[in-house]
Amino acid sequence: MRKLMLLSLALISFNAFAEAPSVKITSYVYINQERKVAELCGVVSNATTTPTFVQITVDETSKRPATYNTWAGADGKFCSVVVSYYGTAIAKAQ
């Protein structure tokens, strides 16, 4: 019983200190400058699940930010088409 408790505690501690997934935006290219349509691509590092859910927020400091959702594949890469008036975006893995 004691060994089981120690093993459980070790697993819980390991999970608590495991590095959280991080997202890096690798490209942000306007497809249609007039309509403010852009393709945003990135990669997720240290993913805990496959596929990984990624939430993208464009124009995050504006009065009307927009949120887009996508999935990163087994290689951690993702792309999404977004509309952005200010050309800014942040992404985070869920």
pTM for this model (two decimals): 0.77
Give pLDDT tens digits for 62-73: 999 999 999 999
Which tops the pLDDT comparison, 23 or 6? Answer: 23
Q: Give the residue extent of every domain in the chain.
A: 19-93
Both structure tokens of 84: 């952005």
Give the alpha-carbon dihedral of 47, 45, 32, 58, to 10 degrees.
70
Per-residue pLDDT at 13: 47
Fold of 19-93: Immunoglobulin-like (2.60.40)
Give pLDDT tens digits for 19-61: 789 999 999 999 998 999 999 999 999 998 889 999 999 999 9
